[in-house]
A and B are shown apart, each in its own frame.
Chain A
Amino acid sequence: MLRYTLKRILTGILALFVLACVTFFLVRLMPGSPFQTGSVSEQVVEAVEREYGLDRPLPEQFMTYMGNLLRGDLGVSYEDPGVKVTDIIGRTWRITASLGVPALILAILAGTFFGILRAVSRRRIVRETISAVGMILAGIPGFAVAILLLLLFSVQLRLLPASGLLTPAHYILPVTSLAVYPAAVITRLTGNALEAEMEKDYVLFARAKGLGRKRIIFTHALKNAWRPVLNYIGPASAFLLTGSFVVESIFTIPGIGREFVNSITNRDYTLIMGLTVFMGAVVIGVNLVTDLLGAWLDPAVRRAYQEEAG
């Protein structure tokens, strides 16, 4: 387990490095220069490029960037030279995370709840409704959900605000539209896994020893049904924490997703690089955590780890 953890961390770092290299060169392959806008003369562009070191040969630029990256310095934004990239990330990510974390929690809670209900409800209508609705929700794209919610609750009913993040009420629509898809998927995963577990012999044995239904579901079946759900939660939380450009645009939220798309249109090299590396780190980190958590939740692996540790 210890070795496995170390190995995973090392491969994570390697992946991050490869990601940084690839983006670095891809960004520079994009046609145009960050400073080329219609009204600026050639000389000015060249002067500015020289100032930022963009006239140097590519390998040299690369070495400088990587060196800075190791020190945690992501440079300044080309678009807005007064602002450091790290500051931009700090500002926008806080906003994105304030949407993503509640959305994740909502998705897990709702998904698990409906999943359990779908698997064990005695009423057929409940089971079928949840399956059907879940299927539909998983099939609708995120922007459609967002727009539908927006139309219904803020345009038609005028119950909730449509844009910005001023009050807690502002959070309801974007968080919901972010959470719908993962919740639907988690419902299906939990439902299927739980259904399969309920067929197993140990559930029959638990019934034979006189345990109640709730007992069996919560202390026995659910304990074995988490694995597919956890495997999905990794990528899902990575998605939620790196921000959804679509949802952020629809609700005009200054989050990291929107910043990312803007930086590309602006050819803001350092900002693109900084955001990519950061998001990469988040994705890799979250997946590492869920993988380790999954291993840890397996008693056989945990025992091996404890023995290893002494």
Chain B
Amino acid sequence: MRALDIKKLSVQYHTERGVHRALRDMDLYVEEGEITGIVGESGSGKTTAMLAVMGLLDKNSTVRSEKVTVCGEPPVPGVNIAMVFQDPQSCLNPTVKIGRQITETIRARRHCGRREARDRAVELLDMVGIGDGKKRMRQYPFELSGGMRQRVVIAIALACEPKLIIADEPTTALDAAVQAQILRLLKKIVEETGTALLLVSHDLGVTASLCQRVYVMHEGKIVESGTVEDVFYDPQDGYTRQLLSSAKQKRKNCGSPENQVLFRMEHVTKEYNTRDGIRDISLDFCRGEVFALAGESGSGKTTLARVLTGILKEDKGVLYYKGQPLDQKQRDRSRNKVQMVFQDPYASLNPCLTAGQVLEEALRAADIRDGSQRRRMGTVPARDNAAEKQSRSARRRDRKAEREARRKTICDMLKRVGLTEEYMEKYPSELSGGQRQRIGIARALIVRPELLICDEALSSLDAVTQEQILDLLLDIQREQGIACLFISHDMHVIRRISSRMGVMYGGRLVESGRTKEICSDPWHPYTKQLLEAVPEADPLRARRIRSLPLRKRTADKEQTGKGCPFAGECGYAMSCCTEQEPETYTFGERAVSCFLYAEKYSGRRDRDYIMTSQI
């Protein structure tokens, strides 16, 4: 008996613009106890298909099918079929305690009493790797980390005791280390409970690491299916090949760094009461190079970016621009020189402004800043009466010309980022994620920055769009010779595009150096863990996802406050690691902040000893 059997499933949306066929004659099955994957870019109809199976689509859609059965019966959500959604933050009710959200599911399923439901909930939490279930059940979602929340969501799915769990992008919102843990958890659950799992993902690595069979979807149709090995190693369909090649593609050619140091941070510290601060960070950014910053969420990557842009003021340390220390006044002036592309193209564009207006605003803001600067420096002559008398029409003409020039700049910029002039009049809601991110890039580039910061600029996009945006970014970067700080938790991307990289953990830069060297031979234990946690789009290699087990880290971190931030999780931790903070030890271009590389703790070395990885 098949856990899920779908024959000729079609979905149509009825929108104001007419009928949109989101899904066409989809055939799909999942055997009992099997993990099956669906891959495809966003908008290919994956989620629509899953919601149609669950019967959760909105009223503006028609679903037709010859057959949709779960173990021979019609699917009933919460009874024989359950779903895990992408974002655990938004699919848990923020004002209801975790415990209640689990027990109500159990009670709806089993029609049992409160006590039984509570016991079962603790059991389920234990199963998904949350040990202190009793305590957790009294907490609200905001008190848990992202990974914890996703575990809770999985526990809720398990509470339905389903024959089939549909996991829709279950790890997309999580960082690499947590992703590996969740993937292992899903695998374990399938092995232990015999539940079938349908894994929907745009990440080929994730799919390769878990699934036995895979379906490839494109524009509402299944274009290829088969075992993971067949599809990944011998793709038949052109689209599958394109997907795979974009995931496996080798290093991109990024501009060769010139040796002119553009920005330099020295011992920069920015502390918060809670977290996300940065401590004692020293970095250089050279003209024409792509510097990548990796690390889990909350490690301070974004804080670093904000200090660089001047949105935040550093507590300690000095920033240099072309060798000159930046004080507040110069900072305002140099703000154009650093621009940022934000992570979420949906939230970072004002929904009430058209693309053209967004760009014009950026341009005008930059002009005003330049203007005030010019006036201060006295190059603009004070207006005298004669100038005042100069006919108004001349000034009006000036202004008109200026507007025209601005319009032209905007058009050029739009073309540069691969959009056409028509997009000027469009509002963000009319654009796709990729198009919005293009607007975001255009907004950053239009003021001609010298350093472009991309803060997870790709992570909310699907694989194919990611590839396009990445190409675009690198093209522009190379062409204009600007420096680029690329913040990402995706090691694939970092490996491919950056010439140098840094790894952050707990607000410290634990390792930095040439990307090639770090990726092939990580020195810091955390870097090693990070690199190993990422599944590759290669089934045989990805099956061995390893992730170091979580050591009760929160407790450790809060308790000591001193010592190496990674000591609580590190398999190589020595007693000194928890007592004092390691300095940064530099070996040529490689800098690492770990006692394994300190002479004091790992022995004196020869003068001509070439340092290698100690782990």
Contacts and interface: CB of A to CB of B under 8 A. Distances in A.
A201 B77 contact: no
A225 to B, nearest CB: 10
Contacts of B269: none
Given A204-B56, A215-B104, A210 B78 contact: yes
Interface string A287-302: 0000000000111100
Interface string A219-243: 1100110000000000000000000
B248 to A, nearest CB: 33
B93 A209 contact: no
Given A201-B87, A202-B90, A215-B104, A208 B95 contact: no
A201 B82 contact: no
A40 to B, nearest CB: 65
Given A205-B153, A299-B140, A210 B91 contact: no
B91 A202 contact: yes
A198 B349 CA distance: 25
A3 to B, nearest CB: 15
Contact of A204 (B79, B91, B156): B91
Given A208-B77, A210-B77, A211-B108, A220 B93 contact: yes
Contacts of B411: none
Contact of A212 (B82, B90, B108, B140): B108
Nearest to A298: B95
A208 B78 contact: yes
Given A211-B105, A215-B108, A219-B104, A205 B140 contact: no
Contact of B159 (A206, A207, A209): A209
Contact of A209 (B94, B96, B100, B108): B108
Contacts of B140: 299-300, 303
A123 interface: no
A71 interface: no
B572 interface: no
B285 interface: no
B446 interface: no
Contacts of B56: 204, 207-208
A223 B143 contact: no
Given A210-B76, A210-B78, A299-B142, A224 B93 contact: yes
* Interface footprint category on B: 20 to 34
Contact of A299 (B83, B94, B105): B94
B95 A223 contact: yes
Nearest to A203: B93
Nearest to A197: B93
User: Looking at B76, B78, B100, which has the most chain A CB atoms within 10 Å of its CB?
Assistant: B78
Contact of A224 (B76, B95, B142): B95
Contact of A223 (B54, B96, B104, B157): B96
B143 A303 contact: yes
B156 A209 contact: yes
A202 B108 CA distance: 17
Contacts of B143: 303
A298 B140 CA distance: 11
Contacts of B108: 209-212, 215
Interface in A76-100: none
Interface string B123-146: 000000000000000001011000
Given A208-B77, A299-B142, A200 B90 contact: yes
B92 to A, nearest CB: 6
A210 B153 contact: no
A228 B309 CA distance: 36
A224 B94 CA distance: 8
A158 B259 CA distance: 95
A220 B140 CA distance: 13
Contacts of A303: 140, 143
Contacts of B159: 209
B204 to A, nearest CB: 25
A210 B109 contact: yes
A281 B503 CA distance: 58
B160 interface: yes
B85 interface: yes
Contact of A205 (B76, B92, B109): B92
Interface centre among A200, A206, A297, A300 (most CB of B within 10 A): A206
A288 B336 CA distance: 45
A69 to B, nearest CB: 42
B223 to A, nearest CB: 27
Nearest to A210: B78
Interface in B244-289: none
B160 A209 contact: yes
A299 B95 contact: yes
B82 to A, nearest CB: 7
Contact of B91 (A201, A299, A300): A201
Contacts of A209: 77-78, 82, 105, 108, 156-157, 159-160
Contact of A208 (B83, B90, B96, B142): B83
A215 B142 CA distance: 22
Contacts of B90: 200-202
Contacts of B79: 210
A300 B94 CA distance: 9
Nearest to A205: B91
Interface in A180-218: 200-202, 204-212, 215
A289 B153 CA distance: 36
A201 B88 CA distance: 9
A223 B157 CA distance: 22
Nearest to A199: B58
Contacts of B100: 219
A201 B78 contact: no
Contacts of B78: 208-211
Interface string B26-56: 0000000000000000000000000000101
A303 to B, nearest CB: 7
Interface string A266-310: 000000000000000000000000000000011110010000000
A211 B107 CA distance: 10
Given A208-B56, A300-B142, A303-B143, A201 B96 contact: no
26 contacts: A200-B90, A201-B85, A201-B87, A201-B91, A202-B94, A204-B91, A205-B91, A205-B92, A207-B77, A208-B83, A209-B78, A211-B104, A211-B105, A215-B108, A219-B96, A219-B100, A219-B104, A220-B93, A223-B96, A299-B94, A299-B95, A299-B140, A299-B142, A300-B140, A300-B142, A303-B143
Q: Shortest 4 CB-CB distances between A and B: which pairs?
A: A210-B78, A205-B91, A201-B90, A208-B83
Given A211-B108, A299-B94, A300-B140, 17 more contacts: A205-B91, A207-B56, A208-B54, A208-B83, A209-B157, A209-B160, A210-B79, A210-B105, A210-B160, A211-B105, A215-B108, A219-B104, A220-B96, A223-B95, A224-B94, A224-B95, A299-B142
